[in-house]
Chains A and B, each alone.
Chain A
Amino acid sequence: MSQDETTTDAPAGRTPSRRALLGWGGAGLALGAVAAGGTAAALRTGGDAQPAGADATAASAVPFHGRHQAGIATAVQDRLHFASFDVTTDDRDELIALLKDWTKAAARMTAGDAVGGGAVGGLAEAPPDDTGEALGLPPSRLTLTFGVGPTLFEKDGKDRFGLKKRRPEALIDLPKFSGDNLDSTRSGGDLCVQACADDPQVAVHAIRNLARIGFGKIAIRWSQLGFGKTSSTTPEAQTPRNMMGFKDGTHNIAGTDAAALDAHVWVGDKDVKGDESWMAGGSYLVARRIRMHIETWDRTSLKEQEDVFGRDKAEGAPVGQKHERDTPHLKSMLPTAHVRLAHPDSNGGVRILRRGYSFTDGTDGLGRLDAGLFFLAYQRDVRHGFVPLQRKLSASDALNEYIQHVGSAVFAIPPGVRGAGDWWGRELFA
């Protein structure tokens, strides 16, 4: 632990790194997190899987480099800042330069280091390279996961960066689902970065600094803060509750289940040919802002609430069962029950990896809590993952009376950054 805290593979800056500043304070935080229990190891899967070692604590760093990007199979952190960007430059070389700059900054930030020349110690007359609000904070298992949206390949009929022919077939434009009430200012985007960390300040810092580096080449289209992870990629941990008070996503794909990840999450070498080959080792992400009608839900009887989900509220046990992880007996549930409709057995074995977070953005001006689920689902092919599942749910789910999908985006998540010379999206632009 202490050895890891004092060695850094990031280039030496003019200012001490966040990690170097930690000293015993950082170690103390880390131990505190262990004592609090429950935060599982930061796991990576694939050929470069990281063993769940002693330093895999809430304060530690998740390796940035690997075959797959971190932040997908990684044990879900507590906080989220998700950002969607429009690319404002028309210049392919500028975009590539930005992705290289972003990658460099991301590698530093996920290691707990400040961006560029740091937050202090530079020229007094000039703003520092790093904004500074994460100074002194541990890496907090920050992961930054990068993706590209359909509009990067083609927008308004225009092949913007010569990428049109490289758009993967699996990166579809999502169809309109019944009940969608999508706000264009909370939907879509050319690029995305998902920042997850155990400290909200670390996640916010990461997106803020990437945005700043990118101004002039990109603009933030929308972003979403999330808290209280609503699904777990660590089966040994309790499934957290969503804003409706229910456990959902119990049978999520475990970050350690290499076979399930290969089957449902990672794009395999054989999935992609020719112009799509850049996606090997990647994944596809669907992001949905799902608003919950909190007040009407709260006035709903416990029986109806439990019937809607197909689980009991106390244990999270499926109808007729005792424990959360007992095998659900789908036919005992109402045909419109959420669990019944979403279960792989009702969908030909389709599974997705969920990393959603709760959100609460204050109230909406009518005094209603602007809260809900920021749904994030990773899958090997959107056409076989989210789309059929959501078709079924949007048509029949009893939950629809209490929720509304208000934002939507889909992104191709390229494979991981392999090493110091590599960068986000290199294979795409090769």
Chain B
Amino acid sequence: MRAHRSSAVAAIAVAATLTAVAGCAAKSDGKGAGGKGAIAVTASDSACKVSAKDFPAGHVQFAVDNKGSQVTEVYVYAPGDRIVTERENIGPGTHVEITAEIKPGAYEIACKPGMKGHGIRQKVTASGKGAAVKRNPKLDAAVSAYRTWVQEQADQTLPEAQKFADAVKAGDVEAARKTYALSRVGWERTEPVAESFGDIDPKVDTRADGLSDGQKWTGWHKLEQSLWEKKKISADDKKLADQLITDLKDWQKRVGKAVINPTTMANGAKELLDEVATGKVTGEEERYSHTDLIDFHANVEGAQKAYELLKPVVAKNDPALAKELDKQFAAILKQLDGHRDSNSADGFASYDTVGKDERKTLSDSVNALAEPLSKLAAAVAEAK
């Protein structure tokens, strides 16, 4: 199941690369076929040896041998940890061949023994007549740091989600209520990345109104309804708690491989505010638990993280925009601080106690931040 999904993701990554290089590097087609001229990658539990650190750009083949004792995976990263190609599930003693269109430029090859973490990396260069793609190192650094942060959010979410799932499985309504909102924070901070996969979000974060006829309702909000509206935990809910953890582990596994670039980061930040504007400000998101404010806060934090990482570039390209965003982020966070409640499990007041006028003020602040935030992508797109 997992391998199947992963290969689909890899196919998309490769397809994206092919599209990007079409017409400039396709001439050397076939040169590396048949193993001759292939770059040998020898993976072990502690090393990742590459036979050539400088090779011609074009249709490149990598011949991978796993000489280690663990299952490994191999990645070719462009700067910013953008995945050019990858192969998972390379068992001990296994030989696999991976091919990809590689443009001239700098890359990293990573072996990941145990299929975990940052990997053991080698810097390589693809050289060729085609001009290397002009890169902005600041943007590459931003993308790389954001990718790391997104992974951390998923990693930190799993234990919180496990606490929630355990409480549900124990039939403990009170404990489940207390851990519910906290189990969602990492997800809410990085939601656009999770949504980019298409299949995880509908399983874990669908609301009642998002269902079509005949669709089974799974995920956080189904359990939210049981805990607050029905006030009891059914046998089916206990199964759903296990399913939630399975789906979140899938997210944790795949989130680092999402297509992330400066524009998707910038637009992802805007999308987080869209989430707030359409679901949280109205109280639709957490209609049973009324824990909308912590989601709201997490969405803003996620948008702010993407912005802060892109800021070195934005501040140079559009200083007025950076100034405005600094101001509006500060303003909305200050306003949310005004709704903190130390007596609540998640630290924020229940949204059903937030009056109509206060909701209007929150909505105005969302517009005030989201409108300049929608200009962030232009500020980084022009930075190439």
**Alpha-carbon distance A216/B364, docked complex (angstroms):** 8
Minimum CB–CB distance for A154 against chain B, Å: 20
Number of A-B contacts (CB under 8 A): 42
Cβ of A219: which chain B residues have Cβ within 8 Å of it? 360, 364, 367-368
Cβ of B369: which chain A residues have Cβ within 8 Å of it? 216
Answer yes or no: A126 CB below 8 A from chain B CBs: yes
Cβ of A123: which chain B residues have Cβ within 8 Å of it? 377-378, 381-382
Indicate if the CB atoms of A216 and B374 lie closer than 8 Å: no
Minimum CB–CB distance for B307 against chain A, Å: 15
Minimum CB–CB distance for A35 against chain B, Å: 42
Indicate if the CB atoms of B263 and A216 lie closer than 8 Å: no
State the interface size on chain B (CB cutoff 8 A): 21
Answer yes or no: B284 CB below 8 A from chain A CBs: no
Answer yes or no: B372 CB below 8 A from chain A CBs: yes
Output the nearest chain A residue to B375 by Cβ-Cβ distance: A126
- Over the window 47-70 of chain B, the binary record of Cβ atoms lying under 8 Å from chain A Cβ atoms (1 yes, 0 no) is 000000000000000000000000
Given the known inter-chain contacts A125-B263, A212-B371, A216-B324, please indicate yes or no for A88 contacting B364, CB distance below 8 A. Answer: yes
Q: Give the one of A122, A216, A217 with max B CB within 10 A.
A: A216
Indicate if the CB atoms of B372 and A125 lie closer than 8 Å: no
Output the nearest chain B residue to A217 by Cβ-Cβ distance: B368
Output the nearest chain A residue to B363 by Cβ-Cβ distance: A219
**Alpha-carbon distance A229/B34, docked complex (angstroms):** 79
Indicate if the CB atoms of A126 and B381 lie closer than 8 Å: yes
Given the known inter-chain contacts A88-B364, A216-B328, A219-B364, please indicate yes or no for A125 contacting B371, CB distance below 8 A. Answer: no
Cβ of B371: which chain A residues have Cβ within 8 Å of it? 212, 215-216
Answer yes or no: A127 CB below 8 A from chain B CBs: yes
Cβ of A126: which chain B residues have Cβ within 8 Å of it? 374-375, 377-378, 381
Output the nearest chain A residue to B374 by Cβ-Cβ distance: A127
- Over the window 200-215 of chain A, the binary record of Cβ atoms lying under 8 Å from chain B Cβ atoms (1 yes, 0 no) is 0000000000001001
Indicate if the CB atoms of B375 and A215 lie closer than 8 Å: no
Given the known inter-chain contacts A123-B382, A125-B267, please indicate yes or no for A215 contacting B367, CB distance below 8 A. Answer: yes
- Over the window 297-341 of chain B, the binary record of Cβ atoms lying under 8 Å from chain A Cβ atoms (1 yes, 0 no) is 000000000000000000000000000100110000000000000
Q: What is the predominant secondary structure among interface residues of chain A facing chain B?
A: loop
Output the nearest chain A residue to B325 by Cβ-Cβ distance: A216
Indicate if the CB atoms of A216 and B372 lie closer than 8 Å: yes
Bin the interface of chain A by size.
10 to 19
**Alpha-carbon distance A86/B363, docked complex (angstroms):** 13
Indicate if the CB atoms of B368 and A125 lie closer than 8 Å: no
Minimum CB–CB distance for A36 against chain B, Å: 39
Output the nearest chain B residue to A211 by Cβ-Cβ distance: B367
**Alpha-carbon distance A123/B378, docked complex (angstroms):** 7
Enumerate A70-119 residues with CB–CB distance to B below 8 Å.
Answer: 86, 88
Contact with B378, one of A125, A212, A215 (Cβ below 8 angstroms) = A125
**Alpha-carbon distance A217/B331, docked complex (angstroms):** 12
**Alpha-carbon distance A70/B372, docked complex (angstroms):** 31
**Alpha-carbon distance A217/B370, docked complex (angstroms):** 13
Contact with A88, one of B324, B356, B368, B377 (Cβ below 8 angstroms) = B368
Output the nearest chain A residue to B380 by Cβ-Cβ distance: A125
Output the nearest chain A residue to B267 by Cβ-Cβ distance: A125
**Alpha-carbon distance A88/B374, docked complex (angstroms):** 20
Output the nearest chain B residue to A184 by Cβ-Cβ distance: B357
**Alpha-carbon distance A289/B328, docked complex (angstroms):** 34
**Alpha-carbon distance A122/B381, docked complex (angstroms):** 12
**Alpha-carbon distance A125/B369, docked complex (angstroms):** 18
Q: Give the one of B263, B367, B369, B382 with max A CB within 10 A.
A: B367
Indicate if the CB atoms of A216 and B368 lie closer than 8 Å: yes
**Alpha-carbon distance A217/B364, docked complex (angstroms):** 10
Indicate if the CB atoms of A125 and B377 lie closer than 8 Å: yes
Cβ of B356: which chain A residues have Cβ within 8 Å of it? 185
Cβ of B375: which chain A residues have Cβ within 8 Å of it? 126-127
Given the known inter-chain contacts A125-B263, A125-B267, please indicate yes or no for A215 contacting B382, CB distance below 8 A. Answer: no
Output the nearest chain A residue to B364 by Cβ-Cβ distance: A219
Minimum CB–CB distance for A150 against chain B, Å: 20
**Alpha-carbon distance A145/B372, docked complex (angstroms):** 26
Output the nearest chain A residue to B381 by Cβ-Cβ distance: A125
Q: Give the one of A122, A185, A215 with max B CB within 10 A.
A: A215
Minimum CB–CB distance for B10 against chain A, Å: 25
**Alpha-carbon distance A212/B263, docked complex (angstroms):** 22
Q: Give the one of A126, A127, A185, A217 with max B CB within 10 A.
A: A126
Output the nearest chain B residue to A127 by Cβ-Cβ distance: B374
**Alpha-carbon distance A185/B360, docked complex (angstroms):** 10
**Alpha-carbon distance A197/B266, docked complex (angstroms):** 37
**Alpha-carbon distance A125/B261, docked complex (angstroms):** 12
Minimum CB–CB distance for B91 against chain A, Å: 42
**Alpha-carbon distance A65/B267, docked complex (angstroms):** 39
**Alpha-carbon distance A185/B357, docked complex (angstroms):** 9
- Over the window 29-41 of chain B, the binary record of Cβ atoms lying under 8 Å from chain A Cβ atoms (1 yes, 0 no) is 0000000000000
- Over the window 138-173 of chain B, the binary record of Cβ atoms lying under 8 Å from chain A Cβ atoms (1 yes, 0 no) is 000000000000000000000000000000000000
Output the nearest chain A residue to B324 by Cβ-Cβ distance: A216
Enumerate A157-193 residues with CB–CB distance to B below 8 Å.
Answer: 185
Cβ of A215: which chain B residues have Cβ within 8 Å of it? 367-368, 370-372
Enumerate B250-298 residues with CB–CB distance to A below 8 Å.
Answer: 263, 266-267
Q: Give the one of B356, B368, B377 with max A CB within 10 A.
A: B368
Minimum CB–CB distance for B154 against chain A, Å: 26
- Over the window 123-157 of chain A, the binary record of Cβ atoms lying under 8 Å from chain B Cβ atoms (1 yes, 0 no) is 10111000000000000000000000000000000
Q: Provide 26 A-B residue pairs closer than 8 Å at the C-beta atoms, listed in order of the A residue.
A: A86-B364, A88-B364, A88-B368, A122-B378, A123-B382, A125-B263, A125-B266, A125-B378, A125-B381, A126-B375, A126-B378, A126-B381, A127-B374, A212-B371, A215-B367, A215-B368, A215-B370, A216-B327, A216-B328, A216-B368, A216-B369, A216-B371, A216-B372, A217-B368, A219-B360, A219-B364
B interface with A by C-beta (< 8 Å): 263, 266-267, 324, 327-328, 356, 360, 364, 367-372, 374-375, 377-378, 381-382
Given A125-B377, A219-B368, 9 other A-B residues pairs in contact with their CB atoms under 8 A: A122-B378, A125-B263, A126-B375, A126-B378, A215-B367, A215-B370, A215-B372, A217-B368, A219-B364
A interface with B by C-beta (< 8 Å): 86, 88, 122-123, 125-127, 185, 212, 215-217, 219
Q: Which 8 A-B pairs rank lowest in CB-CB distance, beginning with the nearest?
A: A126-B378, A216-B368, A219-B364, A215-B371, A125-B381, A215-B367, A125-B377, A123-B378
